Structure 1
Amino acid sequence: MIRRFHKVPSILLILLTFVAMFPGMITGSSSAAVLTAGAVVAPMLALMGLPGESAAALIAMAGILGMIAPPVNIPAMIIGGGIDMPYVGFELPLLLLTVPLAIFAALWFGYRHAKKTDMGKVLAALDTATLDKYGAMRLFAPVLIVLVLMVADRAFPKFSSLGMPLIFSIGVASACFTGKRFNILQASKTAVEQALPVLGILVGVGMFIQVMTLTGVRGFIVVNALSVPPAWLYVAIAVTLPLFGAVSAFGAASVLGVPFLLALLQKDQIITAAALSLMAALGDFMPPTALSAIFAAQVVGLKGYGSTLKKLIIPSLLVIAWALIFIIFSKQIRAVY
């Protein structure tokens, strides 16, 4: 990819952003995207001249956009589950929501730095020994296997119903026979060690949501959300969904996304749920958890994540505005396609 597009930094930045989004698209987790593909993309962004803060901000934004992009969007599934709406027909609205934002983020964070960089030196600095030795087809075989099995699961549900855990296990098993040899037990141990902080946060958040439900706080929020005057409803959505995401993006989708969708029954429900899920995902930028921002800062080698959050303020406001446009004009957007 870098060999082919190194003379066009804008296209290369956009493609690297899509690469960083990919794990989030198939797992529904921004943390997975940041810690896996984000770690792969970070050195390339550094070679292209991006400062650490800008690179971390781009990786963090790619993480949440990948989390919302199809085929797997867990916040949208949670919101839909609250009103018994199946997760069907979300693919195109989610693409319309995320792809333009991904292109904007790539150019916003990276283009002014990349255009000043000698891309010939970037190409010369790349270590292509492994690629030359094994070939692209062999190295990317595990990814292709996972993609084929995922497509088969959706295209032929009567014949293929492996499920995501088994599909990824098959992909991992195939990786043992492609590329460099590695110690699978050591790799598994390292992966679990890196995942434990995320799992701890998610378990704690899940307990918090359950306590809110059992004590009646969630019901109180639902009742008050439904009684918000129409003029203030969009303001409430734009402010509370991302802020509550400081607890958890999934928690925001469950506690606030469902009542807001019920308050917007006059809108197209699929497009509205997709837009609400996008705003809920911004919670991964909200301290103190700020999972996406924290891990992105770690990936690029920053000691703190405050400077990364500052870089994300303006793009986050644009994300909120973009999502609100989709909610307000949901019926018109649905009529187009």
Structure 2
Amino acid sequence: MYFHAGLILFVIAVSFGVAKALKLSVELSMLVAALAAAIVHSGGAIPVRHLVEGSFTYLDVCLIFITATFFMNLIKESGGVAFLVRGIVKAFHKSRVLCLFFLTLLLLIPGALTGSGATTVLTVGTLVGTVLTYMGISEKRVAAIIFVCAAMSAAAPPVNLWAMMAAAGSNMPYVGFFIPLLVLSLAGSLFAMFFLGGKGKKVELDEALKELPEPPAKMNWIRVGMPFVVLIFLIMAGRIWPHSIPTLGLPFMFVVASIFAIILSPKKLEILRIASDTINTLIPLVGIMIVVGILIQIMALSGARGLISLAVVTLPMWVLFAALWLILPVSEGLLQYAVAPLLGVPLILLFNMKGMDAIIALSAMAVMWPVGDILPPTAVVGRATVMELKFKGHYYRDFLKTSLIPMGFILLIATLFLIFSNELSFLVGG
């Protein structure tokens, strides 16, 4: 049994490595690894049923991706994002602290709603980066700020995909994560913003406004804010009136909010084009979710997943506390979201068995993982940041090096949350 499971892990590792060496994408490399493992396990046959079942494992998560990103793209196309950025600059250009604070909150919104840091970079990254540049912040610090805040936006509630996937794999309801995730992501993003951008000058208002796109004349706070109000109301209604409101689901909530965004838009939106662009943008992300489901299904079928779980749960706790801050980001850089069910599930079961608060522990890990989105070979959010901002410096020597201290701070506080999970259990809420 152990030999067979070990053989499957070896096949997966070798197949993935060969596929990457042949310049295949991460998604295709993982699919090749899953197919090779399935064939070896089945003695030459392809277990089609398990491949199909695995591809539907995270269907609900993919629907959240698509509907949430479509909603944010509608807000952006209607001029809402530009209106918000210009409004923050106009209102707080005389106060550097307040301007940086509200820009941080704005950076957290897209990823918090979609679960994707890349969405934050693509929707508000360039606009916020322009403002930061006119506040006297260097190019490499601007890029580092945008990345760290984008990573923390992906970790922020209500949609944290790592926590959702690990919770689903361990039969744990995704409830009670809001406050722990909010505290960690907000602390990390604010530290990055003020550590890297605290010193400088006030916004050069006229120059900044010239660079920022002009929203439609009829755009106002009601038009841009009402879709978010509707979304928040739908999310909170089920908790306020749990026995009176049917379970709507996040995808349906985002669809309703999108309808309000379309109705309230001051200009006619090209809905089909926006929807098409949304799907095209999300193909790699949805693709990797499908492939992750297939890979996890095959690993569970062959016993490889159980072998990894056994290896994890037999490690001494002090080893985990000392190493997870490094293991989790690096594994995210290698496999992206696949690490949540692969490593997250056995870790949660272990922590729960040891009497730790599983929600706080998973929240801490779910904030460590997105930090690795700057690391190769995937570096999804890191690459999106340098491309969107047209960063001219060296990726490792300038961009990654500048991001290290904020990343280290995030990993430190997340590790402390992990160690003192029981003492912090008062943070667990709805």
Which category of TM-score, normalised to the shorter sequence, fits these structures? 0.7 to 0.9
Alignment of 1:159 onto 2:245: yes
- Residue 329 (structure 2) aligns with: 242
Q: How far apart, CA to CA, are the structure 2 residues paired with 1:40 and 1:156?
A: 39
2-structure distance, mates of 1:128, 1:32: 19
Question: How far has the Cα of 1:204 moved from its partner?
Answer: 3.9
Q: Which residue is equivalent to 2:422?
A: 331
Alpha-carbon displacement from aligned partner over 1:204-250 (angstroms, at most 9, x marks no partner):
44444444333433222211111112331212322222111123443
Greater alpha carbon shift after TM alignment, 254-263 vs 201-210: 201-210
- Amino acid paired to 1:176: I
Secondary structure at the aligned position of 1:144 is classed as helix
Instruction: Give the 4+ runs in structure 1 shifted more than 6 A.
Output: none
Distance across 2 between alignment mates of 1:143 and 1:126: 26
The residue aligned with 1:314 is: 405
Report deviation, 1:124: 5.0
* 1:27 partnered with 2:118: no
1-structure distance, mates of 2:273, 2:167: 39
Give the Cα–Cα distance (whole angstroms) in 2 for the partners of residues 272 and 141 of structure 1.
35
Residues 249 and 282 in structure 1, CA contact (< 8 A), matched pair in contact too = no
In the alignment, structure 1 residue 3 sits paired with structure 2 residue 90: yes
In the alignment, which residue of structure 2 is the partner of 1:192?
279
* Partner Cα separation in structure 2 for residue 336 and residue 151 of structure 1: 18
Q: Which has the larger radius of gyration?
A: 2
Go from structure 1 to structure 2 and tell me whether the alpha carbon gap of 1:103 and 1:212 turns closer, same or farther (over 3 Å shift): same
Letter in 2 for 1:91: F
- Give the TM-score, by structure 1 length: 0.88
Query: Between the two proteins, what is the percent identity of the paired residues?
Result: 31
Name the structure 1 match of 2:301: 214
Higher mean C-alpha deviation, range 163-172 or range 150-159: 150-159
Q: Does 1:139 align with 2:230?
A: no
Q: Distance in 2 between matches of 1:141 and 1:166?
A: 17
Whether the 8 Å contact between 2:112 and 2:159 is mirrored in structure 1 is yes
1:203/1:121 CA distance change after superposition, 3 Å = same
* 2:210 is the counterpart of 1:125: yes
For 2:383, the equivalent position in structure 1 comes to 294
C-alpha displacement at 1:259, in angstroms?
Answer: 1.8
Partner-residue secondary structure (3-state), 1:301: coil
The residue type paired with residue 234 of structure 2 is: L
Name whichever of 314-323 and 124-133 sits farther off.
124-133
**2:93–2:202 Cα contact (<8 Å) kept:** no
Instruction: Find the aligned partners of 1:127 and 1:312 in 2 and give their Cα distance.
Output: 26
Residues 1:6 and 1:240: Cα distance change in structure 2 (over 3 Å) = same
* Cα distance in 2 between the residues matched to 1:176 and 1:334: 41
Question: Residue 235 of structure 2 aligns with which residue?
Answer: 150
Maintained 8 Å contact 2:289/2:337: no
Counterpart contact for 1:105–1:315, Cα < 8 Å: yes
Matched AA of 1:116: K
Q: What is the aligned partner in structure 1 of residue 364 from structure 2?
A: 275
Query: Given that residues 153 and 163 in structure 1 are in contact (C-alpha distance below 8 angstroms), is that contact kept between their aligned partners in structure 2?
Result: no
Matches of 2:405 and 2:164 in 1, distance apart?
28
Q: Which residue of 2 aligns with 1:50?
A: 137
* TM-score normalised by the chain length of structure 2: 0.70
Shift of residue 153, structure 1, vs aligned partner:
4.0
The alpha carbon displacement at 1:131 in A equals 6.0
CA contact (8 A) 2:143 2:389 kept: yes
Equivalent of residue 124 in structure 2, options 26, 33, 37? 37
Deviations 1:235-272 (A, max 9, x none): 23222221111234432221112222233232222211
2:95 and 2:202 in contact (8 A); partners too: no
Match of 1:285 in 2: 374
Matches within 5 A, 1:248-263: 248-263=335-350
Matches of 2:195 and 2:346, distance apart in 1 = 34
Give the distance between the partners of 2:365 and 2:341, measured in 1 at CA.
11
**Inter-partner Cα distance in structure 2 for 1:127 and 1:250:** 34
CA separation of 1:146/1:39 partners in 2, compared to 1, >3 Å: closer, same or farther? farther
Separation in 1, partners of 2:160, 2:362? 11
Tell me the distance in 2 between the aligned counterparts of 1:142 and 1:217: 45
Alignment deviations for residues 87-135 of structure 1 (CA, whole Å, 9 cap, x no partner): 22222222222221121011122222xx235534456536585365332
CA contact (8 A) 1:152 1:160 kept: no
Q: 1:51 to 1:210 in 2, by over 3 A?
A: farther
1:67 aligns with 2:154: yes
Change (3 A) 1:298 1:15: same
Residue matched to 2:51: none
Look up the SS of the partner of 1:89 in the other structure.
coil
Q: Give the structure 1 partner of residue 67 of structure 2.
A: none
Aligned to 1:174: 260
Among 235, 257, 266, which residue is 2:355 paired with? Answer: 266
Does the 8 A contact of 2:156 with 2:185 survive in 1? yes
Between the two proteins, the alignment pairs up a number of residues equal to 335
